A and B are shown apart, each in its own frame.
Chain A
């Protein structure tokens, strides 16, 4: 949708008045803190959007930048610098939190690229979850039969619990289903990683294709993890 990595119009530093690129937390000339840059989360770390990230390097950069922008460093600075430090650090923290998590990172990049994806992973709203679990149209087609079977068993299990009974056959059957769906989750994650590489290394056409695949994989993953959570909750109850 948009890329703001190399903004064409330089902005003048408030302190030294020398023009500089938009996406930086500090003036490259006088090192003074700047208002929050308009770029994406990747640009905060000086990165091009990509899915395979060197996490130790990302953490190191997060710490290095934190030392420079954190409000603790500006406790006695002027009002403007304090406000910018607060806004810059919030941006830095939001960016790091999103990028260090593989799923949030994937979802964020897909959004940047304008892909339509399901309910926000980062905003796991109870409302969205509830809808997700009940909406049959979201069931992956290949799992329709299995999910139907599983939901019957879950319902039976809950009923039995309510009546104070235990069904000796249900427990192992549900545990087996949990293992099966856990396995499918691992499979989805492996497939996502493959698509990461495709996206990172591919041309525009390959990227579009990978994005479409990843949107589908994220949907599937969300569905599976809700299912696994349901089973775990019912088993643990």
Chain B
């Protein structure tokens, strides 16, 4: 086949993954460190000694910098995608995003990262480029086309921002797929299923519920609902707030003023949360800067009471989705659980109650790893689009638009032209005229949402129909066609019918980048070039080798080194010598293998380092001493960063 592979990408709030179809089964492509999950964290390295633009790092490497240089790191950027300045004020209270001061209302906000500024799509583009490179390394061939997943409840601007990010990363985004629908695809592959299924997707930052009808390989979404600001992050924040308050009240220590310490405490809160999914009790046990210990047992019952309001917020969207699909809970044949937060027993209990599962002798589906299922589904959709394989040729996904599309009418009310849950692509045609003699433009305001007043809906775009031939008021008849494409993105075209002239439209998206802006933000335009590819692979492999070699070189200075057994130290030395010699050669694959081997050999050392770093951060020691040598291989399910509380 002349064209390359199409990969499936889950661009998540906390972690991102890339997957592809291997034969008739989707598999996740691991990164160079062997991990399937790439933390959605982007860091800016220090400015090089000779000046010039600093390097951007992504994933586990970037996460390491969270402790050392929090002001040069960003995570959870998905929460900012496609949003305006006003809308992100709430996020700023909970996350250490530092906005550039010179952004004006109506512009896409930019985030300060060290001495540079980036828009959210640019940050996402760096994550996408890392995934693209992971896939290219894996295949040994360029990858230029992808399917990217988005929360089902993402609006037009959030979808467009995601597509822009793909383009900046050198990826042609063949389709945006809704995350719950992708999960259904991953589950629907191995069985010939008929029936109605509900996908309950509670991730790091977003919640989606989708109801689908499966029949003869057709996955027809009946309804979808959700909340783009509800997820595991909210649960972490609740635990963190308790710990911070108690430490302040009982020990007189205000950790909030130490970003690094809050960061470490957040990690402890996440550990408590994860542990409570399997244990009846979990505990904070942390040494404080003044030498005190903060020791706190959290029984599961207390935790469940604490998070109850967060979980309850998922019930409303579920009920609305059932109503919109015109069915009762009993008519749901299967429930699929997606997203790391569905590991919490209280979430499973809530789902059981909502869909009356136990009473009907049913259990939710959790067979596929909830962290990976969306990426696997994206790979299935990628395979459908590539049209290349027998296993997916009978499958077709019919998705819907999550929000109604409307036009602002007289008096600020909304005239709905495409109802929510309409199967996409969907279109609507509206006619407009002039109110004044000789008027040559008509302004149209398009909104998305379910509220009755345009001011309460989300402003999508303002269109100016121009070049209308001068006529008496009310005589021109301008036909405007609105079309929502298969990605859930709006397109508009217009025509003046009496004169036959095609009216010019100037589309001004309320929150978004112009085509020119996106063009100017494309990362490494030479990324596609075949001849550069092998060279780049080699350079990257050598860079990775050098990074890990440098870290291993400094390892004996660390106290953690002495905790290793003699044979562990010898194994590391052997792997280091092997890599040092292979690195001189031209074989990128061999260098990568040797890097991976050294990485494996140092895994336990890296874990010891990580523990030391967390302890030191809590004790307020210098970050440099603690975090400098965190190994590449350290993997944790969540990004860590300082959080601020009001």
Task: List A residues at the B interface (Cβ < 8 Å).
Answer: 63, 66-67, 70-73, 75-76, 86-87, 89-91, 93-94, 96-97, 122-128, 130
Is A86's CB under 8 angstroms from B483's CB? yes
**Which segment of B17-25, B239-247, B411-419 sits at the interface?**
B411-419
Q: Which of B384, B424, B427, B486 contacts A91 (CB 8 A)?
A: B427
**Contact, CB under 8 Å: A76 / B413:** no
Chain B residues near A94 (CB, 8 Å)? 426-428
Residue of B nearest to A63 (CB): B218
Shortest distance from the beta carbon of A222 to any chain B beta carbon, whole Å: 15
Q: Which of A73, A89, A124 is packed against the most chain B CB atoms within 10 Å?
A: A89
- Cα distance, A94 to B429, chains bound together (Å): 11
Residues of A within 8 A of B423 (CB): 93, 96-97
Across the interface, do A76 and B396 meet the contact criterion of CB distance under 8 Å?
Answer: no
B175 within 8 A of A: yes
Tell me whether A127 and B416 are in contact (CB under 8 A): no
* Alpha-carbon gap, A11 to B381, bound state (A): 35
B387 neighbours in A (Cβ, 8 Å):
73, 75-76
Q: Which A residues touch B417, using CB under 8 A?
A: 123
Shortest CB–CB separation between residue A149 and chain B, in angstroms? 27
Among B215, B381, B406, B423, the most chain A Cβ lie within 10 Å of the Cβ of B423
CA distance A89 to B381 in the complex (A): 18
- Complex alpha-carbon distance, A161 and B406, angstroms: 33
- What CA separation (Å) do A124 and B428 show in the bound complex? 13
Known contacts A71-B486, A72-B396, A75-B175; is A125 also within 8 Å of B415 by CB? yes
Residues in chain B near residue A122, CB distance under 8 A: 419
Residues of B within 8 A of A91 (CB): 427
Asked if residues B416 and A125 are in contact (CB atoms below 8 Å), the reply is: yes
Taking Cβ atoms with an 8 Å cutoff, the residues of B that contact A are 3, 174-175, 215-216, 218, 220, 381, 384-387, 396-398, 406, 409-411, 413-417, 419, 422-428, 452-453, 483-486
A63 and B395 alpha carbons, distance in the complex (Å): 11
Tell me the interface secondary structure of chain B in the complex.
Answer: strand
Closest beta carbon of chain A to B514's beta carbon, Å: 22
Q: Tell me what chain A mostly uses at the interface: helix, strand, loop, or mixed.
A: helix
CA distance A130 to B412 in the complex (A): 13
Q: Would B218 and A66 count as touching, CB distance under 8 A?
A: yes
Inter-chain contact B426/A97, CB cutoff 8 Å: yes
Chain A min CB distance to B178 (Å): 14
Query: Which residues from chain A contact B419 at a C-beta distance below 8 Å?
Result: 122, 124
Of A66, A86, A125, A127, which is within 8 A of B398 by CB?
A66
Taking A75-B175, A90-B425, A127-B414 as known contacts, 20 extra A-B pairs with beta carbons closer than 8 A to each other, sorted by chain A number, are: A66-B218, A66-B396, A71-B485, A71-B486, A72-B175, A72-B486, A75-B174, A76-B3, A86-B425, A89-B425, A93-B422, A93-B424, A93-B426, A96-B423, A122-B419, A123-B428, A124-B419, A125-B406, A125-B416, A127-B415
**In the complex the two chains form, what is the Cα distance from A128 to B417 in whole Å?**
13
Which of these, B386, B415, B486, contacts A123 with CB under 8 Å? B415
B409 touches A127 (CB 8 A): yes
Distance in angstroms from A132 CB to nearest chain B CB is 13
Contacts of B486 in A (CB 8 A): 70-72, 86, 89
Closest residue of chain A to B425 (Cβ to Cβ) is: A90
| Contact with B483, one of A73, A90, A96, A123 (Cβ below 8 angstroms) | A90
B413 touches A126 (CB 8 A): yes
Residues in A whose Cβ lies below 8 Å from that of B174: 75-76
Q: Is there contact, CB below 8 Å, between A67 and B218?
A: yes
Please name the 10 residue pairs, one residue from A and one from B, whose CB atoms are nearest each other, closest first. Answer: A125-B415, A75-B385, A126-B452, A90-B425, A90-B427, A127-B413, A93-B423, A71-B486, A126-B413, A89-B425
Contact A125 B414 (CB under 8 A): yes
A-B contact pairs, 27 of them (CB 8 A): A63-B216, A66-B398, A67-B218, A72-B175, A72-B396, A73-B387, A75-B387, A76-B3, A76-B174, A76-B385, A87-B427, A87-B483, A90-B427, A90-B483, A90-B484, A93-B426, A94-B426, A94-B427, A96-B423, A97-B422, A97-B426, A125-B406, A125-B414, A126-B452, A127-B410, A127-B413, A130-B413
* Chain A residues with CB under 8 A of B424: 93
Closest chain A residue to B174, Cβ basis: A75
Does A86 contact B218, Cβ atoms closer than 8 Å? no
Q: Look across to chain B and name the residue whose beta carbon is closest to the beta carbon of A77.
A: B387
Task: Give the contacting residue for B416; candidates A66, A70, A123; CB below 8 A.
Answer: A123
Residue of A nearest to B404 (CB): A124
B397 contacts which chain A residues (CB < 8 A)? 72
Minimum distance in angstroms from A235 CB to a CB of chain B: 17
Q: How long is the Cα–Cα vector from A128 to B407 in the complex, in angstroms?
A: 13
**A70, A75, A125 — most chain B CB neighbours (10 Å):** A75
Q: Which residues of B contact A127 (CB under 8 A)?
A: 409-411, 413-415
| Complex Cα spacing A126 to B428, Å | 17
B395 CB → nearest A CB, Å? 9
In the assembled complex, how far is the CB of residue B415 from the closest CB belonging to chain A, in whole angstroms?
A: 4
Q: Which one of B215, B425, B483, B484 contacts A63 once the chains associate, using CB atoms below 8 Å?
A: B215
Taken together as a complex, chains A and B put the C-alpha atoms of A107 and B525 apart, in Å, by: 53
Q: Which residues of the partner chain A approach B385 to less than 8 Å between Cβ atoms?
A: 72, 75-76
State the Cβ distance, B154 to closest chain A Cβ, in Å: 19
Q: Which of B215, B416, B427 contacts A124 (CB 8 A)?
A: B416
Question: In whole Å, how far is B412's beta carbon from the nearest beta carbon of chain A?
Answer: 10
Q: Report the minimum CB–CB distance from B296 to chain A (whole Å).
A: 43
Q: How far is the CA of A139 from the CA of B220 in the complex (A)?
A: 40
Specify the chain A residue showing the minimal Cβ separation from B388.
Answer: A76
Nearest A-chain residue to B422, judged by Cβ: A97
Interchain CB contact under 8 A, A70 and B411: no
Minimum C-beta distance from A154 to chain B (A): 19
